C-alpha cells in the first residue's frame, strides 16, 4: 500500500503544484483579520508565497512565520506587525524545512524542530532531526541539539514545567510515516531525551495541553488513528482515554482547547471522505460524551476493516 501511495503521490504532486500556482492558492496574501465587529478586513501580504509553514504569536505581539514551501522548501522567515498590518523579512533558519513544528518557549524564544527538507528522494525531499531557536530580540536563529530521530508531521506541546513534548511522525527517505515515539526538549540544557511511547503510532496527529497539565493527542494516519490518549508529564506515561473510535476523522482535523476546559475535535478526512463531524473531550470524566457529538452527523460506527486500516503519510504536501 505504501508503494502504491508513493507512485500516486509522484504523479499528483506535479499536478497539484501546477494547479496551486495557476489558481493562486499558494500565495503570499494573508487571510484578512477578524476584527471586533466580527468581520474580516484585508491586511498586508507576506513577503514570500508559502504553504505548510508555521505561524507563532510572539510575546511582543508580532507573528513569526517560518519555513514551508512553494517551488522549493524554504528556510526564510518573516514577521507580521499588528500595528502596521505589514510583513517584514527576518533572519532565515539554518535549515530549510516544511511540515515542522514551532513552539513559543517560556523565555520568549521560538523552538523549531524537525520537518522535511530539500533532498534527493523521489519527491525531492529529505528528513531532518535538526532543531533551532529564534531570538526575537536579535532576529537570528541558533542551532541547538537535534531530536533523537528524524520527524515530520509530528506535534510539539509546551508543558507547564517549561519542557516541550514532541510526539509521532517519523520521517524516512523523504516520507513521513506513523510512529509512536515521543521525546522531551529541555530548554535549560538545550538537549532532547526520549520519553514514554504512545500506545498508537501516528502521523498528522493533533495535540493540545489540558487544564490539568496533561497532553491530549488525537487522530493521525496510522492504525487505530481514531483512538485518543493523553500524556502525563509527571509520570511520563501515555494512557488511552478508554474510547477507541471517537470520530470518523483520520487526518486534517483540528483539536482545540476551549474556554470551558474541554477539548474539541472537528472536521478532517476519514477513510472515504471529508467530514464535518465535531465532538468534545471532557478531562474531568476522561470521556468523549456522545451528547457532545454533532447532531447533523451520524454517530461513528467501527468495523473490523476500519480498525485494521493503516495508511502511510507520503510526502510533504499532505496529499
Q: What is the DSSP string of 241-289?
A: -S-S---S--BS-EEEE-TTS-EEEE--B-SSSB---EEEEBTTTTB--
Question: Looking at residue 43, what is its pLDDT?
Answer: 96
Question: Looking at residue 233, what is its pLDDT?
Answer: 96
> When comparing pLDDT for 26 and 75, which is higher?
75
- Asked if residue 275 is part of any domain, the answer here is yes
- Asked if residue 317 is part of any domain, the answer here is no
Q: Are 214 and 232 in contact (CB under 8 A)?
A: yes
Q: Are 292 and 247 in contact (CB under 8 A)?
A: no
Question: Looking at residue 303, what is its pLDDT?
Answer: 32
- Asked if residue 85 is part of any domain, the answer here is yes
Question: Looking at residue 243, what is its pLDDT?
Answer: 66
- Asked if residue 268 is part of any domain, the answer here is yes
CATH of the domain at 145: 2.120.10.80
- Asked if residue 314 is part of any domain, the answer here is no
pLDDT band (50, 70, 90) for residue 35: low
Mean pLDDT of 18-45: 62
Q: 21-35, 202-216, 257-271, 285-299: which has the minimum mean pLDDT? A: 21-35
Q: Are 135 and 142 in contact (CB under 8 A)?
A: yes
Question: Looking at residue 171, what is its pLDDT?
Answer: 93
pTM of the model: 0.81
Nearest CA to 108 out of 78, 144, 136 is that of 136
Domain count, the chain: 1
- Asked if residue 313 is part of any domain, the answer here is no
Q: 46-55, 64-73, 252-261, 270-279: which has the minimum mean pLDDT? A: 270-279
Confidence check: pLDDT of 318 > 80: no
Q: In what order do the strands lie in the sheet with 86-90?
A: 54-57, 63-66, 77-81, 86-90
Confidence check: pLDDT of 22 > 90: no
pLDDT band (50, 70, 90) for residue 259: very high
Mean pLDDT of 76-86: 97
Tell me which residue range forms the domain holding 221.
2-28+42-308
- Asked if residue 10 is part of any domain, the answer here is yes
Nearest-angstrom CA–CA distance, 168 and 112: 16
What cell numbers appear for 85 in the block? 498590518
- Asked if residue 163 is part of any domain, the answer here is yes
> When comparing pLDDT for 292 and 141, which is higher?
141
Strand-pair partners of 206:
218
pLDDT band (50, 70, 90) for residue 223: low
Amino acid at each position: 500500500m505504501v508503494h502504491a501511495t508513493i507512485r500516486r503521490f509522484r504523479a499528483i504532486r506535479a499536478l497539484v503544484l501546477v494547479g496551486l500556482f495557476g489558481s493562486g492558492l499558494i500565495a503570499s496574501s494573508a487571510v484578512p483579520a477578524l476584527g471586533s465587529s466580527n468581520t474580516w478586513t484585508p491586511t498586508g501580504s507576506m513577503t514570500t508565497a508559502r504553504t505548510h509553514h508555521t505561524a507563532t504569536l510572539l510575546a511582543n505581539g508580532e507573528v513569526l512565520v517560518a519555513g514551508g514551501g512553494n517551488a522549493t522548501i524554504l528556510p526564510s522567515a518573516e514577521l507580521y506587525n499588528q500595528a502596521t498590518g505589514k510583513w517584514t523579512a527576518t533572519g532565515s533558519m539554518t535549515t530549510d524545512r516544511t511540515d515542522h513544528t514551532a513552539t513559543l518557549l517560556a523565555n520568549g524564544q521560538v523552538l523549531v524542530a524537525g520537518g522535511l527538507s530539500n533532498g534527493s528522494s523521489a519527491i525531492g525531499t529529505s528528513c531532518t532531526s535538526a532543531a533551532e531557536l529564534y531570538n526575537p530580540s536579535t532576529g537570528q536563529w541558533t542551532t541547538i541539539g537535534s531530536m533523537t530521530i528524524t520527524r515530520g508531521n509530528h506535534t510539539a506541546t509546551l508543558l507547564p514545567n517549561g519542557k516541550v513534548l514532541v510526539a509521532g511522525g517519523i520521517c524516512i527517505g523523504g516520507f513521513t510515516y506513523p510512529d509512536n515515539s515521543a521525546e522531551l526538549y529541555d530548554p535549560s540544557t538545550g538537549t532532547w531525551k526520549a520519553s514514554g511511547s504512545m500506545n498508537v503510532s501516528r502521523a498528522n496527529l493533533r495535540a493540545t495541553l489540558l487544564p490539568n497539565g496533561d497532553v491530549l493527542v488525537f487522530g493521525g494516519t496510522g492504525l487505530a488513528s481514531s483512538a485518543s490518549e493523553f500524556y502525563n508529564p509527571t509520570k511520563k506515561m501515555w494512557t488511552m482515554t478508554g474510547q477507541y473510535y471517537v470520530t470518523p476523522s483520520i487526518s486534517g482535523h483540528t483539536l482545540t482547547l476551549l474556554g470551558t476546559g474541554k477539548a474539541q475535535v472537528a472536521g478532517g478526512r476519514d477513510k472515504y471522505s471529508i467530514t464535518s463531524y465535531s465532538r468534545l473531550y471532557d478531562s474531568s470524566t476522561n470521556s468523549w460524551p456522545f451528547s457532545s457529538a454533532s447532531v447533523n452527523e451520524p454517530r461513528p460506527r467501527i468495523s473490523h476493516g476500519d480498525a485494521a486500516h493503516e495508511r502511510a503519510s507520503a510526502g510533504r504536501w499532505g496529499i
